[in-house]
């Protein structure tokens, strides 16, 4: 899997959140918008299943 896009600013508050980074990665891989939405939705459901805690 290719490396994720480099974000030049190292300030954590200015970097995109994980789901937004996932969207960026899927777009760079030329996935369709519907596939992107479905993937992000499933990840969000998993996060909610884990009670918003790191698994």
Three-state SS annotation for the chain: CCCCCCCCCCCCCCCCCHHHHHHHHHHHCCCCHHHHHHHHHHHHHHHHHCCCCCC
Domain assignment of residue 54, yes or no: no
Domain assignment of residue 6, yes or no: no
Domain assignment of residue 30, yes or no: yes
Structural domain total, the chain? 1
Per-residue pLDDT at 41: 95
User: Do residues 40 and 19 touch, judged by C-beta distance below 8 A?
Assistant: yes
Phi, psi of 24 (to 5 degrees): -60, -45
Per-residue pLDDT at 53: 80
Domain assignment of residue 35, yes or no: yes
**What does the alpha-carbon distance between residue 27 and residue 7 come to, in Å, rounded to a whole number?**
16
In tens digits, the chain (55 residues) has pLDDT values of 555 555 555 666 777 788 999 999 999 999 999 999 999 999 999 989 998 887 6
Per-residue pLDDT at 12: 64
Identify the domain containing residue 41 by its residue range. Answer: 18-49
Per-residue pLDDT at 2: 56
């Amino acid at each position: 899997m290719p490396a994720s896009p480099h974000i030049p600013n190292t300030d954590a508050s200015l970097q995109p959140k994980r789901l937004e980074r996932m969207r960026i990665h899927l777009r760079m891989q030329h996935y369709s918008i519907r596939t992107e939405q479905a993937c992000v939705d499933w990840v969000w459901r998993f996060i909610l299943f884990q009670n918003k805690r790191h698994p």
